[in-house]
Amino acid sequence: MIGHPACPVEPWCLRATSLDLGVLAQFESLFALSNGHLGWRGTLDEGEPVGLPGAYLAGVFELRPLHQAEAGFGYPEAGQTIVGVTDGTLVRLTVDSEPFDVRRGVLHSHEQVLDLRAGTLRRTADWTSPAGRRVVVRSERLVSLTQRGLGAVCWSVQALDGPVRVVVQSELGVTAPPSAAGGDPRSAAGLTAPLVAQTHTVTDGGVRLLHRTRLSGLLVGAGTWHDVTGPPGTRTDVACTPDVGRTTVTATLAAGQQLGLTKLVAHAWSGTRSGAAVLDEVDAALVVAQGVGWDGLLSTQRTYLDDFWDRADVVLEGDDELQQAVRVALFHVLQAGARAESRAIGAKGLTGPGYDGHTFWDTEIFVLPVLDHVAPQAAEQALRWRHTTLPLARDRARVLGLAGAAFPWRTIRGEECSGYWPAGTAAFHIGADIAHAVLRYVRATGDTAFEATVGVDLVVETARLWASLGHHDGRGGFRIEGVTGPDEYSALVDNNLYTNLMAQQNLTAAAHLARAHPGRAAALGVTAEERTAWEAAAAAVVVPYDEGLGIHLQDDAFCDHERWDFAATPAEDYPLLLHHHYVELYRRQVVKQADLVLAMQLCSGAFTDEEKRRNVEYYEAITVRDSSLSAAPQAVLAAEVGHLELAYDYLAEASLVDLHDLQHNTRDGLHLAALAGCWTALVVGFGGMRDDGTTVSFTPRLPPGTTLLTFCVAIDGHHVKLDIIPARTRYTLLSGPPVTILDHGTPVVLDAGIPVHRPPAAARSLPAPQQPTGRAPVPRAPHRTQSQHRAGLHGGGDVERTHACAPRWPSPGR
C-alpha cells in the first residue's frame, strides 16, 4: 500500500512502518511469499488478528457442486475451489501468561519488510504486555525458490526487562476456510472443513500431518523441524492431534536475553500416490533443508534472485513510486511461476483465494509474455501444464460438438469450472490465446525442441477448434459466430474482432508448424487437405469494419447498440457487473476491458497507424475499465498512437492496482495479470517492442517526466538491453550471435558487447481522447520525485539508484 502513510517509497523493498488493522488483509496479500508451488500469505506470526489466513499448494483444490437453476446438456456439474492447506507459519507467544496480541497492551513500534532482493518477509514488534512486561519479537520467513515444497521461519523474542517467563508455541495446523463473500463473483466460494485428517505423528524436532481433501480426494502432507536456542533451562515439548501439531518451548529470560527458533516447514501433495509416499517427500525436503540450514537457505534465495534481477530489472528514473511498484510487480510475477512446474498459474497466484484460485486466459496473454523474458523456464512449465490437460480439452470439444480442443475458461485441474457459459464456454478465444503464448515463448527462447512437441500439439488442436467452429459464408468470408471476446460486457456475438484475428494467427501457425514438423503432425493425423483448409480459413477471416465511422468494430453488430448512459451512472455503480444485470450490459455500447484495443497490441500488423489512432479514440470513450486487465493494453496503444501522458496514467494504474487497492479486492489476493501488465506497458508501450514473427522492432519513447528507462528482452535466444534517455536509445546485445532489429523502422545490426546508439524519434502530440464520465485514469503528475515528496513524512534518506541491468546472462539453451 504505497499510498498508505506507513509505507515509504524505497527502491528494493515494500515496508510498512506501523500496523493498520483496517487494511490487514490487503497487506497480507502484498506481503505474500510464494514459489509457484507453495504460497504463504503475509499473516502475522501469532495468527491473530488476521484478515484471511492462507497457506496454499498449487493444484490443491476441493470439488463443489455447481447448482444450475435450469440444467442443460454440457453444463459443468462441479466446480473447483482452492483449499488452504496446513499452515506452518504460526508461532504463538505468551509473556508471563499474557498472550502476545498487538490489540492488547502497548505496541511501541511495528515494522514489516518485503525484501525484493533477499526474497524474505521480515517483521519486528516492540510490545509491552498488559502486565507491563516489554519484549521485542523478530521474525523472518521465506518460501524457497530453490526447494519447491519448503518454507522456513527464523523467529526470536528478546526480553527488555526481566526476569520474564515466555512460552512459545510453534504450530502446524489446519485453518478455517474463508467464508464466501456474498454478491462479489471475484471472491472464493465458501467451503466447509475440506481437509479430513488421515495420520499425525510426532517426529524428532517436529510433527507430520497427513490430510485428504474431502471430495477431490487429494492427499496433502506437511511436516516441521525446529532448531531452538535459548538460555539454560530452556525446555522443548512436542505434541500432535489430527489437525494440529505443536512444538512448545518454555524459558525464563533475563533482561537482554532472547529465545530463538528456526522452523522448517515442508509440504507435498498428490492425487495418485500413497500417503506414505507423500510423507516421504515431506521428510526428504526437511532433511535437505536441515543440511543447508537457515543461513544456507538465505544464501541460495539471494543467489536465485540476483540472477533473476540481472535479467528482469526495469529501471525507471524520475518516478520513484512507480520504480518501486514495478519491482514489486515483477517479484510477485516471478513468485507465481518460479516452481509451478506443470501446475496452473492462477489469476491471484498463491497470494489469496480470490476467483477460487482459478487460472484464466490472463496467464497466457498477460503473465507468460513477461515470464518468456525474465523467467523462461516458468513460462515453459505453464505451457506444459496446458499440454497435460489436452485430453480433457479434447473431451470438452466433443461435448460441444466441435473438433480439436476446447480449453476451459476457468479451472484448476483442467475441467471447465464456469457455470455461466455466455461469459465462459463461449469465450473460445482461450484456445488462440494458448497458441499465441506458444509462439511467443518459442520466439523469445528459440526452444525448437519444445516447438516440435508440445508446441505442435497445442497449436494444431486449437486450430482444429476454429476450423470446426467457424464457417465459410459463401461470400468469401470465414465467420466465427456466437462467441464472447475479452470484453465480458458483450456476449454471444458474431465475428468478435479479437477472436477472429487471434484465430487467424492460430490457423496460420498450425499450417506452418505442421509443415515444419511433419512427423509430429502426422502423429496427430494432420493431412495436406487439413493444412490447406486452415490456410483458406485464415485468409478469409472476417474483420469487421465500419466505413462510415472509419473504425474497426468490436463485433458485427456492436455499433448498432445504444450507448451506455455514462453521465447518468454514479461512481458507486462501478464495477457495473455488481450493480446492473447483464441484460442491460449486453444491449449497449459499454466495454468492460480492452478488447479491440488488445487485438491491436497482439495483432499489430493487421492495422494501419491511422486505423489504430481512430480506434483508440472511439473505444476510449466507452471503456470503463471494470477489470484490472484493461489498463496495460490501453497504455500500450496510447503510447503507440502518441498519447504519452495518457499511457503514463494507465501504466500507473496497472502498476498500483494492488498497492493502492484500486479494484477494492486486494484482500483476496493480488492481480497478477495487471502486475505483469506494467512490464508490458513499459516494454511494449514505451519501449515500442513489436514482433511479427520474423523481425523485432522498437519505437522507444520515455514516459513524461522520466529521465531513463532500461530493460532487457529475449529475442530467439539473444538477449538485448535497451537504455532509453531523452537524447538517444542505446542497444546492447548481451549474449548470442549478431541479430538485426528495427529502431523506428531502421535496421540495426547488433553485435555482442558493442553498444549501438540511435537518436530519438520526433515527438508526437495529439489531443487526449475522452473516457466515459468519471472513468478517466488518475493523472500521473510528471516531474515529481516521489521519494522527495514523501521525505517529510518518512524522514527522507538516501535513495538507492540502479543505472543498469548488470547482466549475467546464461548461455542460450541453458
How, if at all, do strands 739-743 and 696-698 pair?
parallel
Report whether 83 contacts 191 (CB < 8 A): yes
- C-alpha 484/C-alpha 135 separation (Å) is 58
CA dist list (Å): 723 to 369, 602, 625, 713, 806:
21, 24, 31, 12, 12
Sequence letter at residue 785: T
752 CB-near residues (< 8 Å, 6+ apart): 733, 734, 735, 736, 737, 738
- C-alpha 465/C-alpha 218 separation (Å) is 32
Report whether 299 contacts 283 (CB < 8 A): no
Residues annotated as catalytic (active site), given as ranges: 488
Interior/surface letters 26-36, b for 16+ CB within 10 angstroms, e for the rest: bbbbbbbbbbb
Residue 714: CA count within 13 A, CB half-sphere:
28
Residue 268: CA count within 13 A, CB half-sphere:
23
CA 751 to chain CA centroid, Å, is: 34
- C-alpha 798/C-alpha 788 separation (Å) is 10
- C-alpha 809/C-alpha 665 separation (Å) is 37
Could you count the other beta carbons within 10 Å of the beta carbon of residue 560?
10
Q: How many secondary structure helices (H) and strands (E) does the chain include?
A: 20, 34
Residue (of 322, 101, 82, 324) closest to 218 by Cα position? 82
- C-alpha 539/C-alpha 43 separation (Å) is 54
Instruction: Indicate the length of the chain as a whole number.
Output: 814
355 CB-near residues (< 8 Å, 6+ apart): 186, 188, 346, 347, 348, 410, 668, 669
Q: What grid cell was written down for 445?
A: 527462447
How, if at all, do strands 690-691 and 588-589 pair?
unpaired
Helix residue ranges per DSSP H, 389-516: 390-399, 429-445, 448-450, 456-469, 497-516
DSSP string across 112-125: EEEETTTTEEEEEE
CA dist list (Å): 452 to 508, 512, 515, 571, 650:
16, 12, 11, 51, 38
Strand residue runs (E) in 553-648: 562-563, 588-589
Sequence letter at residue 566: F
